[in-house]
Structure 1
Amino acid sequence: MMAPPARDWLDPLRRALDASPAPVTFFFRDDDVGWSDDRLFTLLDLFARYGLPIDLAVIPAELGPALARRLERTVSDSGDRVTVHQHGFAHVNHEHEGRKCEFGHARPGLDQRGDIERGRQRLRHLLGPLVRPIFTPPWNRCTAETARCLVDLDFRVLSRDISAVPLNQAGLAEVSIGLDWHAHRRGVRLSPNEWGEALARVVSTTEPVGIMFHHAVIDEAEHEALRQLLGVLAGHHHARSAGIMALARDEAVGKAH
C-alpha cells in the first residue's frame, strides 16, 4: 500500500519538466490483464479521463469471453488510445531455482515457442485483429531463445524492464519500462515523495519514460496519487505520451538514419 500523497509530491517532476530542453515522452503498460477485472476497468476509466494511452499486457490463459468482449468494446471505442498485447501464456513459473520466469533457461525453445503460439492463437480467437505484435514476458524475464521464437512468430516488439540485458535480436525492437509503480526499496514501498524524485531523475534522460502498473494491487490511495500524476502529464507542455508500437516505429526510424 502506498502512503497518502502529500500535496507537493509532484513538484520535483514539474520542475524537471519545466527545465527540460525538449518534450519528454511517457508511455504506460499495465500487466496481468485477466486478473481483477473490476480494478482493471477502474484504471482504464482513469486513463480515459485524461486521454492518455495505455498498453495492456493480457495473459492468454486467463482471458475469457466476457472480459474479451469488454476489452473489445474499450479498445475499439478508444481510438487507438488503449491497445492489447500478449503477456506470456499462463503466467506460471517454470524455473526450479532462482528468480521466477515463465520463459527462462529451464525451458527448451520448442516448449517456449509452443506456449507463445498457443497464447497468440487464443488472443486472436477472442480479440481478433486488435492484438498488437508485442510480447511482455511475465516478471519481465525471458531468454535469447525466447526472442528468436518471437521473431519466428512475427512479433515485432519485446517489452521488459530497463534493467534487463538487451537481447539484440534482429527484427525485434525492445521498448523497456523504466519505472515500476509498485517499486520497493529494502522491502518498503516507495512513498509518493520518493516517487516524485524518481520521476524527476528519469526525465533528465533521453529515453522515453515507461511506467508499469499492476492494476490488481492498486488501492484507493494509489488511485489518488495516480490521478494526480496523470493530471500533470496530461497538462504539462513538456510532457508527451505514446504507445509502445509508436515508440518501436520511432526507434526503427532513428536507427535507419
Structure 2
Amino acid sequence: MLLGIPSRIVTGYLGGEYNNASSSQNTNSENTQQGGHLSIYQYDAHAWSEIWLEDIGRQRVDPTAAVDPQRVESGWSTELLSQQSALSSDLFGLYKFRKTAWLNTIRLQFDALDYQWTRWVLGYSNEQQYDLLKRLFGGNIQWKATAIVVATLIAIMTIFTLFYRFDINAFKRKKLPLWLNLYQQALAQLAKKGTKKTTDMSPSDFAQVVAQQHPEIATQFREFSTTFEILMFKNLNSKQQVMYLTRLKQQFNRLKPN
C-alpha cells in the first residue's frame, strides 16, 4: 500500500515433480489413465504478491521469473537445491539423484511406494472402504458385513471353548518332576481299585488309608510315600536328590506289580 495500490502476500507452492512410476502400481483403470502423481515438497513452497487493479481485479506480480528463471521454468532452483542438500539427510528425496539414471529410478520407485502407502493406508477413507466392500460383496453390504462379524465372533468363541475343554494335563505331565510323576501314577492305579486320595490328605495320611484298605501293600506304600515327601518338601542338594530319587524308583518298581 506504499504506492496506494491494494496488495497482498499469497503463499503456496511452485513446481513439483511428476512421478510416472506409480501409474504401473495402480490397479484401478481410472488411476492408470491419469498416469502417475505429482510430488510437492517443502522446498517447493513459494510466495508472491497480488495487486488490485481497478476494472481488472487481482493480478499476480511475481518477480521470481526475473530473479531465478529456472525456478519458474522447471519448478526447482539450483540455489534451493544446494541448500536442501546441505540441510537434509533424506537419501531418496534429493533432486541431485536425477543426474544418475539408475539412482533416479530407485528414488522414483521409493517415492511411488510412499505415495501408495499414503493413498491406501493413511488416506483410506470411509468412502474407499465402502467402495472396496461393494466390489467384494456387491449389493446389500450391511447385512453381509453383519453376517461376517457374527460368524467371526462365533468362530472365535468356538476356538476358545475347544481350547479350555481340551485336556492339557498330558502336556503338563511332561514338565513334572520325576518323583511327582511316579507318585501320580501310583495314585492313578489305586484310584482304579477304589482308593482315591482327596486334596486335604497329606501323603502320610493317605498311606494310612491305603494300609487299611490294602494291607498287602501297606509297608511298601508307606516307604514309597515317605521317600516322596522327602523329595517333595525337603531342601536337598543334587547328590541327595539323586540318592532319594533312585530309592523312589526302586520302591515304585516293587510296588507296581501289587
Verify same fold: TM over 0.5. no
Relative to its length, the structure with more strand (as a share) is 1
TM-score range, shorter chain: under 0.3
The TM-score, its normalising length taken from structure 1, stands at 0.20
The TM-score, its normalising length taken from structure 2, stands at 0.20
Relative to its length, the structure with more helix (as a share) is 2
Larger radius of gyration: 2
